Structure 1
Amino acid sequence: MNMQAPTRPIRTTCPYCGVGCGVLATPLAGGGLVIEGDPDHPANFGRLCVKGSALGETVGLKGRLLTPRIDGREAGWDEALDLIARRFSETIARHGPDSVAFYVSGQLLTEDYYVANKLMKGFIGSANIDTNSRLCMASSVAGHRRAFGSDTVPGLYEDLEQADCVVLVGSNLAWCHPVLYQRLAAARETRGTKVIVIDPRRTATCDIADLHLALAPGSDAALFNLLLAEIDRRGLIDPAFAANLDGLSEALTAARATLPSSTGLMHSELQRFLQLWTSSEKVVTVYSQGINQSDSGTDKVNAILNCHLATGRIGRPGMGPFSVTGQPNAMGGREVGGLANMLACHLEIENPAHRDAVQGFWAAPRMASKPGLKAVDMFRAVEDGRIKALWIICTNPAVSMPEADRVARAIAGCDFVAVSDMFGDTDTARLAHVVLPATGWAEKDGTVTNSERRISRQRRTLAAPGQARDDWRILAEVGSRMGWSDAFAWSSAAEIFAEHAALSGVAGALGSDFDISDYAGITAQDYDRLQPFLWPQSATRKGGRFFADGRFHHPNGKGRMIAVAPMPPQPLSREYPFRLNTGRVRDHWHTMTRTGLSPRLSRHLAEPYLELHPEDAAALSLAPASLAQVDSPYGRAILRVLVTDRVARGHPFAPIHWTGQTAPSGRVGALIDPTIDPVSGQPASKSTAVVIRPFAAAWYGFAVSTRDIAPDCDYWARAALPTGYQAELAGCQTPQDWIGEAKRLFGLCSDPLLVQDRQRGLTRLAFVEEGQLRAALFISPDPVALSRSHLASALGGDCLSGVLAGRPGQDQPDEGALVCACFGVGINTILKAVTTQGLISVEAIGEALRAGTNCGSCRPEIKSLIRAHLPA
């Protein structure tokens, strides 16, 4: 990054999770950005997590796609756009509108999403547009619509700070939504808010829990049914509010039939939960992917909503159910109808009056008349040839979809595939006929909506590199070339936003909750100055919470409670005796195309891993740091073993982020069961039956290099370093010539320094050029034990002491594995402060080392280190 004098800061929004934090991005005169939290943004008040803080490290041009490509060759925009328009038009003419599809992303801006939805549903005439939000929040959408008649989040972030009790269910808030976690932790500290964490796995979020319920996986609906029955037993059903509800009696009957034993909880744990929830009028229940990613996720959502509806604890300060979204604009995508079963502005595609209204507003030649294919079914239709032309925008389904290998084969076999992305080498882009260079976060201009319905501006802070274009412009160009130039003739994102706002006024007149028609006449200047605001914003309603007045969006104006019969998980078999849970790590995002560019974000957890209970590990003869082969009926992965009692026996956990570019054998999506929730279409990504066995490695390796590393072995995982790259390696066959292998691996011709013990199977090589370490390779028959942080710091430098030993000399500090990524504080530095300085609290460590004082997501890890190494 060029550290020339910065210009003025630009207010924009973070592109990661659904918290929607405000960011001050200051462009540097020579390129790059300085990143700070926006103290005036109501989502974060200046806080940023480590991913947001590192955004300035991810805006370089390394790996960027800068020109369109057709069949691997560079092409001009006109040729590429003409080809897409022609292939889609020809396919529609021959096979009908449902023979084409768009698969889009919760990372698109609302304006991009709006144009894609308009083109597909109103002009192509199919609803075959779905989004990776289907993998994230579709069950929440379906649960909201069943209960409220609309996809409405009732509450606000400030409710977390006003509640007496906050329940986190299926949500590792500390790692997945760190800024909200910090707001909640501060409320607990200042006003004594009780925090309950419901999760089979003990996560970092449990650090602030007054009660952690490690319930049986999949039994969330049973737990909230038991809560509903207890609400009734204690006489806490609000009769006035219940008069506005349908289905109360049926929901209570189902709740009373639920057995406490199905939760796997001890009686005392269950009773304490019931007491805390029912005795706290101001209670917020936060839920996320742990609820949604299930084959009965919609029922789990409704079991939660039932409890708030029955008590009337909804839509008032400090109370209500709260769905927190995983992506930055999952909510904005829902607002424009980005899901295959929705219309724009929360209108219903099955409703003829709604379809007619949208078609009339758009002056569209045809209108989708039925829901389109949802994500899993969409790629099945690609596989069997029903979909013959596919456009994938801003997402990587060849990695992120369940049954990812099958999805990749389907894409590869499709007649015509276009991909719009920042990078041309993703697992998905490599399969496309046409790849289009799209702008990224810092180069885009538009709006996003966060989890509390707050619309914020994302502003362009850097010029688009090469020939990259905004997604909405690309879509509009194709729409124009397909014959609809008048409908896609916008000249700016502001014009699209104004059209979207005007359509919302039409929707509001039809009873939709989403109405931002106050902005229908917004000018370019006002759009540029737009401040964050909560929807709705119309002549009749301004922001705030929903449903406290008992008025809902079903035709009769009532809310609906749903009778939920909890579904037990499918039984495991001898062939596949483990149930795999999946999720995210603290410092990475989705398939790492952005976070993988930041060296410090890879230093906390640099390779794919498998959390395994100690008794399971012992039974499988898997030692810590060894490699496990994990097989499901759908695919295979090789993962590093992390032995921990954070997971229950029989229920291992693996993160989702690694790809063909970072760890091809660690792609967890290849394992995942494609079974979906029958209501929402959301895949059950957290309960795949697998078998685990030791990976038969003949050798293990670790490599560092100032150049990119090109491994060719059975297992490898690559990560960026400040001055190069590192790679973990393993193979089933031992090469005869390690010097030759090392030269090929690093692309070097010089002879290395060599230490070799053939009897013990140890080889260590270091390539030194002009007195500086260029690369090093360490081979062992067992997992390689050395100081990775020392080698990373030595790379490219002239201090060669301890390089072949793999450890620093006695006079050199070894910070150890990274704990605090915000300030680069390693485990050894923290342990030294605990054992030699007597710093025995997280606060004392923070004051001395700064660790844990920014985003706070490392505080639970620091606390665990203190507990484990506290001096007697």
Structure 2
Amino acid sequence: MSLEAQYLANKLAKGFVGTNQIESNSRLCMASAGTGYKLSLGADGPPGSYRDFEKADVFFVIGSNTADCHPILFLRMMDRVKAGAKLIVVDPRRTATAEKADLYLQIKPGTDLALLNGLLHLLHENGHTDPDFIAAHTEGWEAMPGFLAEYPPATVAEITGIPEAGIREAASLIGRAGEWMSLWTMGLNQSTHGTWNTNALVNLHLATGAICRSGSGPFSLTGQPNAMGGREMGYMGPGLPGQRSVLVDEERAFVEELWELPPDTLRKDGVGQGAVEMFQKMADGAIKACWIICTNPVASVANRGTVIEGLEAADFVVTQDVFAETETNTYADVVLPGAMWTETEGVLINSERNLTLASPATDPPGEALADWQIIARVACAMGYEKGFSYESAEDVFEEIKRAWNPKTGWDLRGVTYERLRAGSVQWPAAREEGPDRNPIRYVDRDGELSFPRASGRAVFYARPHIPAAEMPDDDFPFVLNTGRLQHQWHTLTKTGKVARLNKLNPGPFVELHPQDARELGIVDGDAVEVASRRGRAVLPAVVTDRVRPGCCFAPFHWNDLFGDCLSINAVTSDAVDPVSFQPELKVCAVGLAKVSSPRRPCPSPSSRLRSSTCTDH
């Protein structure tokens, strides 16, 4: 969705319909990082820029297969590595990124907090912190040394499964680095304690002073186009435009004035607890209707059975997409034809706060319209012409600029469509005559640093290691990790139609460690049933030591449109949703004689079964 569409969806829902039940794809990927940034630094979003890649001496990549999922940034990183920078990679699976690492730490899933605390323990012990920075720009450090005493290297090695020597080497590389960056995505975010993971990672930067300067900083790699812009528009949970919240009285009043609404129009109650809970409310009858725009929740939201149950129970389901055939459209009463970003005009913001204007390369087919136009037309048909009679996307953008926020530094006032037609602009951009690049946040013209909190200081949070919400047991002894492949994208509505990409990544699979495969009598190519407490899939086996013993990996791209029993859904975060990053699974061989005939058939999407949970073994 463009910035303009995200803004209008939120304006219609919160300002005019009067509901705070609005969620977004960011809940599935970036909610934990955004919430963690807000707690630690005072505002959402990375404090640095892609330019930092050219100056970093050490890259600490954790929970991110950057090579496959952010290939352009990976190439920039590798250029710097070739120039002498060191690369540390932390991942349960030996990914393409890990293959290029100077130091690869194969961590037990769900133990990231123990590792991050252990690294800070060693930085403190070895004298590699920056006391002057801590004293001048942070608060909360006084509690940290005592807390960190619980995470000596031997203890951390036992918890994480990483050799003590590897933990010490990582701490030494970070501690001796002149500048260092941390990069992460879903491996930290999609967790019952994803927000804490971000806090603990930011702690490392605050302790070393490696933040808000060129070449250093905590950099969350956004997983979707314009997810950063959507977070700025407040299009999930309690958000309001300009990094505001309905939970704050003065911020509600500001937006009511912006939208020309009477005082106390915006509600501060009824804020949902995330996407999973929203579909549960739908299944329970508390939510009667839904409008799904530019997303495919049947294929991508955790607790898939609940999503389907909710859509079946709803009185009215509207979907809005550029593709007619999606898993979610199966459940729609009305499907509205949206235009692609190549067919319309609108602003997109990437994870380094860079604004780009998408211009149409061709006209939209048939009656398809830009998402912002559809939202505005529906709003007008509901009687809200005064708030939604826009002539162009540019008109919407000009209104968005009025939501600038001096508290957080979010500022687009110096950006215009005319300026963007000449090139992209990175916010904060207060003046049209200002620079196009503004790579470092929170530092003023005089080089003074002030974080967007009342004290002007960032905060250390002592975040203890806690186990995942579900741990392996006798019934479900394996941990399944999910992720992307290099040549496929999300739920395949785009890349699944490209023959060349389907030759490169032709289908789903499940990776098993050779030790586990031997014990289960599984060989390469066997059809393997993967069953959790929430569902099941039947996938061909790939036996490889890329994964740890006791761990499996399956990509999440393939779903109902490509065959039965292929769904491995993405999961959500602790920012609101109590869903574990590691759904513990059991794996059993189906047997060579039954490769194409699993023990029990998988439900067809057209059957609309309420649950696909496997219970027969």
Q: How far apart are the structure 2 equivalents of 1:693 and 1:152?
A: 42
Q: Which of 585, 590, 606 does residue 695 from structure 1 map onto?
A: 590
Q: Deviations over 1:565-595 (max 9, x none)?
A: 1112343111111111001111111110010
Q: Deviations over 1:221-247 (max 9, x none)?
A: 111111212222223332332132121
The residue aligned with 2:552 is 652
Q: Tell me the CA shift for residue 644 of structure 1.
A: 0.3
TM-score (normalised: structure 2): 0.91
Contact conserved, 2:51 with 2:439, CA < 8 A, in 1? no
Aligned residue runs from structure 1 range 100-139, under 5 A: 108-139=1-32
Change (3 A) 1:656 1:683: farther
2:97 matches 1:205: yes
Q: Which of 272, 276, 281 does residue 381 from structure 1 map onto?
A: 281
In structure 1, give the amino acid aligned to 2:5.
D
> Which segments of 5 or more consecutive residues in structure 1 lack a partner in the other structure?
1-107, 703-712, 718-872
The residue aligned with 2:39 is 146
In structure 2, give the amino acid aligned to 1:438.
G
Equivalent position SS for 1:150? coil
The residue aligned with 1:517 is 413
2:214 matches 1:313: no
The residue aligned with 2:128 is 236
Q: How far apart are the structure 1 equivalents of 2:186 and 2:343?
A: 29
Aligned residue runs from structure 1 range 231-380, under 5 A: 231-243=123-135, 244-258=137-151, 259-260=155-156, 261-365=158-262, 366-370=265-269, 371-380=271-280
Q: How far apart are the structure 1 equivalents of 2:327 and 2:20?
A: 26
Contact conserved, 1:632 with 1:690, CA < 8 A, in 2? yes
Contact conserved, 1:494 with 1:527, CA < 8 A, in 2? no
Equivalent position SS for 1:668? coil
Contact conserved, 2:522 with 2:589, CA < 8 A, in 1? yes
Q: Tell me the CA shift for residue 550 of structure 1.
A: 3.5
Aligned residue runs from structure 1 range 315-464, under 5 A: 315-365=212-262, 366-370=265-269, 371-464=271-364
Q: Tell me the CA shift for residue 633 of structure 1.
A: 0.8
Percent identity, aligned pairs only, is 36
Contact conserved, 1:518 with 1:538, CA < 8 A, in 2? yes
Contact conserved, 1:172 with 1:204, CA < 8 A, in 2? yes
Q: Which has the higher contact order (CA 8 A, sep 6+)?
A: 2
The residue aligned with 1:574 is 474
The residue aligned with 2:426 is 534
Q: Which of 453, 456, 460 does residue 554 from structure 1 map onto?
A: 453
Q: How far apart are the structure 2 equivalents of 1:138 and 1:354?
A: 20
Q: Deviations over 1:681-734 (max 9, x none)?
A: 2564640011111125646679xxxxxxxxxx95899xxxxxxxxxxxxxxxxx
Q: How far apart are the structure 2 equivalents of 1:391 and 1:527?
A: 34
Q: How far apart are the structure 1 equivalents of 2:58 and 2:420?
A: 39
Q: Tell me the CA shift for residue 298 of structure 1.
A: 0.8
Contact conserved, 1:656 with 1:668, CA < 8 A, in 2? yes
Q: How far apart are the structure 2 equivalents of 1:462 and 1:186?
A: 36
Equivalent position SS for 1:557? coil
Aligned residue runs from structure 1 range 71-82, under 5 A: none
Q: Which of 347, 354, 368 does residue 468 from structure 1 map onto?
A: 368
Equivalent position SS for 2:403? helix
In structure 2, give the amino acid aligned to 1:346.
Q
Q: Tell me the CA shift for residue 563 of structure 1.
A: 1.0
Contact conserved, 2:47 with 2:441, CA < 8 A, in 1? yes
Change (3 A) 1:515 1:149: same
Q: Deviations over 1:791-839 (max 9, x none)?
A: xxxxxxxxxxxxxxxxxxxxxxxxxxxxxxxxxxxxxxxxxxxxxxxxx
Size of the aligned set, in residue pairs, is 586
Q: Tell me the CA shift for residue 547 of structure 1.
A: 3.9
Contact conserved, 1:608 with 1:663, CA < 8 A, in 2? no
Q: How far apart are the structure 1 equivalents of 2:39 and 2:187?
A: 20
Q: Tell me the CA shift for residue 342 of structure 1.
A: 1.7
Q: Deviations over 1:87-146 (max 9, x none)?
A: xxxxxxxxxxxxxxxxxxxxx111110110111111122221110110111100010000
In structure 2, give the amino acid aligned to 1:681.
V
Q: Tell me the CA shift for residue 531 of structure 1.
A: 1.6
Q: Deviations over 1:165-186 (max 9, x none)?
A: 1111101000000000111111
Contact conserved, 1:176 with 1:586, CA < 8 A, in 2? yes
Contact conserved, 2:45 with 2:351, CA < 8 A, in 1? no
Q: How far apart are the structure 2 equivalents of 1:699 and 1:263?
A: 38
Q: Tell me the CA shift for residue 388 of structure 1.
A: 0.6
In structure 2, give the amino acid aligned to 1:516.
L
2:46 matches 1:165: no
The residue aligned with 2:531 is 631
Q: How far apart are the structure 2 equivalents of 1:202 and 1:359?
A: 50
Contact conserved, 2:442 with 2:450, CA < 8 A, in 1? yes
Change (3 A) 1:405 1:527: farther
In structure 2, give the amino acid aligned to 1:345.
G
Q: How far apart are the structure 2 equivalents of 1:325 and 1:664?
A: 30
Q: Tell me the CA shift for residue 673 of structure 1.
A: 7.1
In structure 1, give the amino acid aligned to 2:568.
V
Q: Deviations over 1:293-331 (max 9, x none)?
A: 111111111110001012211011111111001001110
Change (3 A) 1:699 1:152: closer
2:564 matches 1:564: no
Q: How far apart are the structure 2 equivalents of 1:575 and 1:217?
A: 19
Change (3 A) 1:528 1:246: closer
Q: How far apart are the structure 1 equivalents of 2:462 and 2:195?
A: 12
More strand by share: 1
The residue aligned with 1:52 is none
CA RMSD across the alignment = 2.1
Q: How far apart are the structure 2 equivalents of 1:307 and 1:364?
A: 44
Aligned residue runs from structure 1 range 19-58, under 5 A: none
Higher deviation after alignment, 173-182 or 568-577: 568-577
Q: How far apart are the structure 2 equivalents of 1:291 and 1:304?
A: 10
The residue aligned with 1:218 is 110
Q: Deviations over 1:5-53 (max 9, x none)?
A: xxxxxxxxxxxxxxxxxxxxxxxxxxxxxxxxxxxxxxxxxxxxxxxxx
Change (3 A) 1:200 1:475: same
TM-score (normalised: structure 1): 0.65
Q: How far apart are the structure 2 equivalents of 1:256 and 1:479?
A: 57
Q: How far apart are the structure 2 equivalents of 1:128 and 1:491?
A: 28
Change (3 A) 1:223 1:327: same
Contact conserved, 2:488 with 2:501, CA < 8 A, in 1? yes
Q: Tell me the CA shift for residue 195 of structure 1.
A: 0.5
In structure 2, give the amino acid aligned to 1:136.
C
Q: Tell me the CA shift for residue 484 of structure 1.
A: 1.2
Contact conserved, 1:550 with 1:559, CA < 8 A, in 2? no
